[in-house]
Amino acid sequence: MDCPATGEYPESAIDRVTWIQQMFAAGLASDTIARLLSCTNDTDGSPNATATPFLVDNLVHERKRIGRALEDMHRACAVLDEIISSAGGAASEQ
C-alpha cells in the first residue's frame, strides 16, 4: 500500500468505499451502515463470522423499508404521468 496522500489504495479499500456508497444510496443511515460494517467482509460485503440473526433482522427491515419507498415512488410517478397526460404532454415510457 502506498502513502494515502498519493491516492493509491488497496482494492479492498476501494471495494469497501463502493459498498458504503451503495448503502447510502439505498437510504441507510450512517449508524446502520456502521453496525453492518462490523458484520461484513472487507472484500465483498458478505457476512463475516460476527454476523448474527440480529444483523439479518436489520437487513430484512431495511429491505422492506426500501421496497415500500420504491412502491411510493412508483405511485408518485403514476400520478405525475396522469397529470402530464391530462395537460397534453407525453407521459414517461418508464
H helices present in the chain, as ranges: 11-25, 30-37, 53-86
The domain ranges of the chain are 1-51, 52-94
> pLDDT-derived band of residue 56, with 50, 70 and 90 as boundaries?
confident
For residue 10, with 0-12 CB atoms within 10 Å meaning exposed, 13-18 middle and 19 or more buried, which class applies?
Answer: exposed
Positive or negative, the CA dihedral 73, 76, 82, 83 is: negative
According to the model, what pLDDT value does residue 54 have?
Answer: 76
pLDDT digits (tens, 9 = 90+) for 58-80: 889 989 999 999 999 999 999 99
- Bridge partners (DSSP) of residue 46 are none
Angle at 71 between CA 74 and CA 36, to 5 degrees: 125
